[in-house]
Structure 1
Amino acid sequence: MSQANRALIERFYAAFGRGDSAGMAACYAPDVVFGDPVFPDLRGERAGAMWRMLLSAPGDIEITLLEHDADETTGRAHWQARYVFSGTGRPVLNDVRAEFRFSGGLISEHRDRFGFHRWSRQALGPVGLLLGWTPLLRASVRRKAAGRLAKVA
């Protein structure tokens, strides 16, 4: 187990919990690769910009790091985010599994996995319940999120 990489994961989520997107981005290598169901392939500064965009949304977000571990090159975390989705005003509890790769004391790759259908049922209500499993809704959410990110990146 790598204590330094475990501490890096802790630092990343502590910054997230404080709403400190700059602190989160400081944990990333300059050429970081990030992906999740909404942002499947962000690279470099765009990953930090995505966190800045998400944390600038109105309302509070509560981050809970449930468990994490790391070795010299890889790591994992199980975390939850509790917030109100700004697009609908609906409460969300997103349960996320993260995988990391490390290089030079920083996160070089970060992949978050969560159930898109489960998220869309909470965030979008009836539309998410009925269509959250479809590629059409996922593509629509990705387009909207990419448009918001383009305005801040």
Structure 2
Amino acid sequence: MSHIGLIEHFYKAFSQKDAHAMKECYHPDLRFEDPVFGVLNYQEACAMWEMLIKAGSDLEIFFDNVIAEGEHGSVDWGANYSFSKTGRKVSNKIHASFVFKDGLIVAHTDRFDLYRWARMAFGSLGYTVGWTPFFQNKLRATARKNLDTFMRKEKA
């Protein structure tokens, strides 16, 4: 599969809520990073996608501008969903960059405006304090705790 095909397969699987197919796109040496979960390894990133899919009953995924040249690629993608903690609608726009190895994704970095996301997810609270390091660090700690809990439950 071409690198463009691999990226498209990953996001089509995500839009179909197929965490297993997403996992197959990742190299075992994966390094994932985003503004909420920080740096994750292969097992953590696969569990994160599965957790987000299971939590997102109204999750809609869209993507375009898929580019791949040599061992690097990128895509613009987004997610529309109701944030489970507040029930507020979120429409997050993300730019992802990739590095490929052995025909799989070995590095995946998602970038998005965390303050914009916080305003949508938390409303006035997000608008007021969503930009602060305290709020963003608390958000990251909560996300990590949720992921760790999810991973423990999945192993049991």
- TM-score (norm: length of structure 2): 0.94
Shift of 1:58: 4.5
- Quote the offset at 1:117 in angstroms: 0.4
Aligned pair partner of 2:52 in 28, 51, 54:
54
The answer to whether the Cα contact below 8 Å between 1:66 and 1:80 also exists between their aligned partners in 2 is: no
Match of 1:116 in 2: 114
1:73 aligns with 2:71: yes
Counterpart-to-counterpart distance in 2, 1:97 and 1:73: 17
What are the within-5 Å matches in structure 2 for residues 133-152 of structure 1? 133-152=131-150
Counterpart CA distance in 2 for 1:59 and 1:53 is 11
Among all aligned residue pairs of Structure 1 and Structure 2, give the percentage whose two residues are the same amino acid: 42
| 1:38 alignment partner in structure 2 | 36
Q: CA RMSD in A?
A: 1.0
Match of 1:28 in 2: 26
CA distance in 2, matches of 1:105, 1:86: 35
Where does the alignment leave 5 or more consecutive residues of structure 1 unmatched? none
**Counterpart of 2:86 in 1: which secondary structure?**
coil
Structure 2 counterpart of 1:76, one-letter code: S
Alignment length, in residue pairs? 151
Q: Which deviates the most, 104-113 or 21-30?
A: 21-30
TM normalised by structure 1 equals 0.96
What residue number does 1:95 align with?
A: 93
